[in-house]
Amino acid sequence: MAGKDDEYDYLFKVVLIGDSGVGKSNLLSRFTRNEFNLESKSTIGVEFATRSIQVDSKTIKAQIWDTAGQERFRAITSAYYRGAVGALLVYDLAKHVTYENVNVWLKELRDHADNNIVVMLVGNKSDLRHLRAVSTEDAKKFAADNNLSFIETSALDSSNVELAFTKILTEIYRIVSNKALESSENSNVPSSQVVSITPTSKDEANGGGCC
């Protein structure tokens, strides 16, 4: 069995979504196992992987669910959005239609995910320079207008893959730790303001919830 990475301070559930063939599974395998496979089999339903990273000397464990892109699987994949604190919404920057469909995926998230989910728009396949169909400026502007963070990656040549995951996990961590700070400073926060992003820290995961 692989070495346990059970020591963590935060556990964040993140989903990978986007059209079929944009490279979701390869982004995941590049990030978690440093592997890339040009002809990897299509994802059926959902697949799972994890990796831990360090932020501010805290260990953050990402539990990542890679979903099938085909529409027929939407019913099963959307069930995994619940409880996710982050989503990487991936398109293929060499296929414009996968970028156009980003709106469809945003709607999916609005319908099925927590309101506070952190979404990062990821333009994958930046190695295909001569085939680019979506400009960086357009995507950047779209991301800003929709309050998403944005990055371009290549799972094939590894560029920005590490950065993409680190960025979104750090962003989630900042939100969560600030909220934790706020609520400890101000004990009469109305309950409606309590973040619906609820990370499971190791202590909480171990149960002893009643104090």
In the complex, the residues that contact other proteins under the rule CB under 8 A are 1-2, 20-21, 37-42, 44-50, 63, 68, 70, 72-73, 75-76
In whole angstroms, the minimum distance from the beta carbon of 47 to other proteins comes to: 6
Distance CA 120, CA 88 (A): 5
In whole angstroms, the minimum distance from the beta carbon of 102 to other proteins comes to: 17
Q: For tokens 């991301």, what's the residue?
A: 143
Distance CA 64, CA 13 (A): 6
Distance CA 22, CA 113 (A): 21
- Which two structure tokens, joined as six digits, stand for 38? 């040009």
| DSSP single-letter state for residue 194 | S
In whole angstroms, the minimum distance from the beta carbon of 199 to other proteins comes to: 16
In whole angstroms, the minimum distance from the beta carbon of 147 to other proteins comes to: 29
Nearer Cβ to other proteins, position 42 or 196? 42
Nearer Cβ to other proteins, position 73 or 142? 73
Q: Which helix (H) or strand (E) holds 152?
A: strand 149-152
In whole angstroms, the minimum distance from the beta carbon of 59 to other proteins comes to: 15
Nearer Cβ to other proteins, position 120 or 169? 169
Nearer Cβ to other proteins, position 52 or 166? 52
CA distances from 54 to 7, 10, 84, 105, 117 (A): 12, 10, 20, 30, 21
Nearer Cβ to other proteins, position 47 or 114? 47
By residue count, the chain amounts to 211
Distance CA 27, CA 16 (A): 9
